[in-house]
Structure 1
Amino acid sequence: MSKRPTRADAARNYDKLVEAAQELFHVEGIEVALDKVAAEAGVGIGTLYRHFPNRTALVEATFRTYSAQIVDDGWRRLETESPDAALAGLFAAYMSTAGTKRGMKEAILAAVGDDAEVFDETRTRSRELTAAILEAGRRQGVFRDDVEPDDVSRLLGGLSMTCVPSDTTDTRDRLIKVVLDGLRPQD
């Protein structure tokens, strides 16, 4: 597993590489040439390999970063929005990156397996956020009492698996509304 380095210049290069990988993986897929990722980041291929000894390490770091961005945004939303709006934002974020992250997940599964540390890390962080959103929503009466964080995780995964490149924001929003309506208390 590749961790973000502590030296300032190394950390900047790491961040630039992951940012370039995010963009290129999204546009061209995870099989994009690594020298193209390095060029997009403005560093040499040797710098890329110092941080990421192989494609899988770069894919894992990019997957971790995508997931961290989604969860961090979810926590910010929970602080500033209603719990149901925060959960809708979480669903939308996962769905908007579903195609790219799905390709990454498959690559990690093929190279490392189901027990890859990055999966445990991201699931744990996402479930903590989901539990906090559900608890806040229950206190405000917007979510049913019988819904568990794992239920929402499965719904997130299921909706993400249905995403296709042609989906519009309206399509995603409609699906999210259907799910959120099912999480609301019944009258």
Structure 2
Amino acid sequence: MRLTLTSVLIAMGATPAFAAEGAFFSLGNTDFVVLLAFLLFIAVLIYFKVPSLMAGMLDGRADGIKNEIEEARKLREDAQTLLASYERKQKEVQEQADRIVAAAKQEAAAAGEQARLDLARSVERRLAAAEEQIDSAQAAAIKEVRDQAVMIAIAASRDIIGKQMTAADANKLIDDGISQVDAKLH
């Protein structure tokens, strides 16, 4: 407060009011009236403690700014921590994705190898089945040829026997056949 009062006194001494002509301390002198009004204004400001209120407001504003700066600093630190956390998570997710891709490649290679093995087995089974069919067809053809040969031989022997055999020879063969059957059954 002294500093403010001293400032006012210095300001009064430097005014051009002292340069005016005539009696300075009269109400007719406008400079004196202005000086009185100014001093009265300053006194009213001091009486209502406006300088301390203004200083308090400025201090409050400074404290508010400090608090905002501190809050911004905390928010920045939180953001940096959060960013580091996200970067770490992104790195972990990337590593996991790389592991998944590597596992998928291994599984695909194993599945391809298994498919090749299955295909080879399938081809072997089909070849074996085809060989069996060929063997079966060959056996059927041989049997058919034998059956035909037997049929031809029977037909030929019937013709030959029929031409060379007499009724007495036929009866004798029948009797021999019956006796052989009788002997085998008893």
Instruction: Give the structure-2-normalised TM-score.
Output: 0.16
Q: Which has the larger radius of gyration?
A: 2
Q: Relative contact order (alpha carbons < 8 A, sep ≥ 6): 1 or 2 greater?
A: 1
